[in-house]
Structure 1
């Protein structure tokens, strides 16, 4: 089973309820089970998305926003989600999160990224573009640019919806 990046948009109250469940459970079970409509599987796209933005010359402010949207922040204590046997991300770094205010800023800045233009700056030949991107991009079936556009669009929409509701976003690798 491959390890992929997962994101969940949840209300602050849901996270508090999970924390309370973990504290009350003898096994530390947070009963973490966000609705599937509020979970996004980014597959292996995060590193590739960041690389395209670097290659395309995206400015530092938006590159940082993308990085934070993909890596989260450590300000919100999520240690209770990383406790065996109920850890949500046992194969990667500890889960992280963005507060609703951070989500709103990320959504605003992601909306300002012209990802098709960044992809257009890559070589038209898919094999050459994949080689330039690196990080296993050459192994993506169906073409790297279509894969990355699909995942960036999903990420942007995910954050836009989280911002509108206003929710926090929890990120982990599973």
Structure 2
């Protein structure tokens, strides 16, 4: 199984409840099971999305919001989730989170990004566009444009719903 970026939108108290469950359960089960609709797998898209933002000339405020949406803000200890049956087994950078207020801010700014316009700044030829994006974008079946637009739209909708519901977002690589 490949390591991909994962996001979950949850109420703030959910982490505390899971941490407590892991400590009280004989087998360490945290009862981590956010609804499937509240989990987003961004695959390997994060660095590619950011690169398109840079290449497309996205202004600093919105580029920083995109980065924050992809990297989080505050380091959060999810070690208690590394147990069966819902082990997330985080790899790479430390898991992070965004508070509900940060989610609302990021969501607003993501809603202002015209990602198709950013993609339009790339060369028309898919192989040239992929070479410019880098990070193995040339290995994306069907080309990077459709892949990245789909992932950006999913990310924006994920944050929009988290903001509407006043949820925080937890990010990790699994």
* TM-score of Structure 1 vs Structure 2, range by shorter chain: over 0.9
| TM-score scaled by length of structure 1 | 0.92
Give, in whole Å, the separation in 2 of the partners of 1:33 and 1:84: 10
Per-residue CA deviation, residues 105-162 of structure 1 (Å, 9 max, x unaligned), is: 0000000111000000000100000000000000000110010000000000000000
Give the TM-score, by structure 2 length: 0.92
RMSD of aligned residue pairs (Cα, Å): 1.5
Answer whether contact 1:52 1:119 (CA < 8 A) is retained. yes
Does residue 60 in structure 1 map to residue 71 in structure 2?
Answer: no
| Residue range with higher mean Cα deviation, 58-67 or 28-37 | 28-37
**Structure 1, unpaired ranges of 5+:** none
> Post-superposition shift, 1:12?
1.4
- Deviation of 1:26 (Å): 5.0
Give the match for residue 153 of structure 1.
Answer: 153
Alignment length (residue pairs): 171
Quick check: 156-165 or 5-14, which moved more?
5-14
Which structure features the higher share of strand residues? 2
Q: 1:6: which partner in 2?
A: 6
- Aligned: 1:82 with 2:75: no
Distance 2:149 2:69 in 1: 16
- Counterpart CA distance in 1 for 2:154 and 2:103 is 15
Q: Which residue of 2 aligns with 1:30?
A: 30
Q: Quick check: 1:89–1:95 contact (8 Å CA) kept in 2?
A: no
Unaligned runs of 5+ in 2: none
**Counterpart of 1:147 in 2: which secondary structure?**
helix
**Counterpart residue number, 1:116:** 116
